[in-house]
Structure 1
Amino acid sequence: MQVDLPDVLAEVTAQFERYEKALVANDVAVLDELFHDDARTLRYGIGENLYGYGAITAFRAARSPVGLMRRTAKTVITTYGRDTAVASTLFYRDTAPGKVGRQMQTWVRFGQRWKIVAAHVSIIDEARDQKT
């Protein structure tokens, strides 16, 4: 298996950046589009465990658009072959000083489209020696 094929890495990076832009803009249509429409798709959030595309889209539709701005750091995207990737990033919000968010997404290519099939988001106290 080839890891980090340049063209595949560029495709996934573009989709990850599209996700980030949609997230902070609360562009629910794009966020919904980027998750795989399947009952097995899951998203473990900060305060919720969402099983299935329907639960994920319902969460997005009901979520407040306030306070979504964030900056990311130490983003690592790794592709495995031509159809699978993992994207990991840290994120920081000015509204949560001393905290660091962690986000991981598993991306899979379905036809010509990349979709998130699993996601995990958590927030922890920021270690003093790891501030960005």
Structure 2
Amino acid sequence: MTSTPSPLPSLNDPHVLAEITAMSDRYEKALGDNALEELDALFYDGPETIRYGVGENLYGFSEIQAFRRARTGGSPPRDVLRRVITTIGQNVATVDLEFRRRGGQKTGRQSQTWIRTPEGWKILAAHVSLMADVS
């Protein structure tokens, strides 16, 4: 028996897009300020949460929280070069951006999956990487 695929949820509802844009801005400010409590509040507090960083793979909220507290000085300052936000229905969104660390030459990339929870929007998965030098 074959099933008919469900229709694609609506993309980029203006209200949801505005909410996620504000959350992404809030994340960037917290990252730049090394506001650990704010960064914790933006991630989903569960074992399902994943953050792949430039040099680490973190599984679960507890590992992410411990990593942030052990990192002296927080994330290096950066400038966002481009950001693409896509909302999927009313409860899921992705935020993808390119950045450059101040004083650096490499382009960085960050992807986040956000979900709406009873406590508000939370990051469920994140990935940060730096592009390799191309010769």
- TM-score norm. by structure 1 comes to 0.91
Alignment check: 8 A CA contact 2:31 2:74 kept: no
Alignment length (residue pairs): 127
Task: Quickly say closer, same or farther: Cα 1:67–1:23, change in 2 above 3 A.
Answer: closer
Q: Which has the larger radius of gyration?
A: 2
Which residue of the partner structure matches residue 58 of structure 1? 66
Alignment check: 8 A CA contact 2:34 2:75 kept: no
Aligned match of 1:23 in 31, 34, 42?
31
The farther-off stretch of 47-56 and 62-71 is 62-71
C-alpha deviation, 1:96, in angstroms = 1.8
Aligned match of 1:103 in 85, 105, 110?
110
Gaps of 5+ in 1: none
Matched letter for residue 102 of structure 1: R
Aligned-residue sequence identity (percent) comes to 47
Task: Quickly say closer, same or farther: Cα 1:84–1:20, change in 2 above 3 A.
Answer: same
Could you list the structure 1 runs, at least 4 aligned residues long, displaced by more than 2 angstroms after superposition.
125-128
C-alpha deviation, 1:68, in angstroms = 2.1
Gaps of 5+ in 2: 1-8
Which residue of the partner structure matches residue 42 of structure 1? 50
Which residue of the partner structure matches residue 124 of structure 1? 131
